[in-house]
């Protein structure tokens, strides 16, 4: 996996948008809410390739795996961070991104959901 594959996959999800936030992160959103973050610069102290939201159960399971840890600033919301691309298989990474997208979509106010008809 790499940044471009993740970017293309995230943008293939219905109504997904991207924007650069904090001057160094490419953030993917649905209805104005984040579902995945790709750092544009890798920090030597906290290397993160990708951050995304997951269920509380998956959060605990994923954080036990090598190369995955609680996402800085967002762990309390059950976000994990991958410190290297091979921490997960490509199919599992895509499923987790899709799950993150779905969880965020379902938490959007009904009015916003209705303005974003599912394709």
How many Cβ atoms from other residues are within 10 Å of residue 95's Cβ?
A: 12
For residue 119, what pLDDT is reported?
53
Q: Is the pLDDT of residue 48 over 60?
A: yes
Distance CA 60, CA 40 (A): 26
Copy the structure tokens of residue 34: 């984040």
Overall number of domains in the chain:
1
pLDDT in tens, 55-87: 999 999 999 999 999 998 899 999 999 998 889
Q: Is the pLDDT of residue 118 over 80?
A: no
The CATH number of whichever domain residue 94 belongs to comes to 3.90.1150.30
pLDDT in tens, 26-37: 999 999 999 999
The region of weakest confidence among 9-18, 20-29, 36-45 is: 36-45
Please calculate the CA angle 52-56-60 and round it to the nearest 5 degrees.
Answer: 85
Q: Is the pLDDT of residue 103 over 80?
A: yes
Distance CA 59, CA 74 (A): 12
The boundaries of the domain holding residue 14 are 3-115
């Amino acid at each position: 996996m790499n940044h471009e594959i993740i970017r293309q996959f995230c943008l293939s999800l219905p109504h997904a948008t991207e924007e650069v936030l904090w001057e160094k992160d490419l953030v993917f959103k649905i209805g104005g809410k984040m579902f995945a973050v790709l750092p544009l610069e890798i920090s030597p102290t906290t290397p993160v390739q990708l951050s995304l939201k997951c269920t509380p159960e998956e959060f605990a399971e994923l954080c036990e795996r090598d190369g995955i840890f609680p996402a800085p600033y967002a762990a309390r919301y059950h976000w994990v961070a991958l410190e290297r691309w091979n921490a997960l298989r490509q199919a599992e990474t895509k499923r987790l991104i899709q799950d993150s997208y779905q969880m965020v979509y379902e938490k959007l106010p009904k009015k916003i959901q209705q303005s974003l008809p599912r394709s």
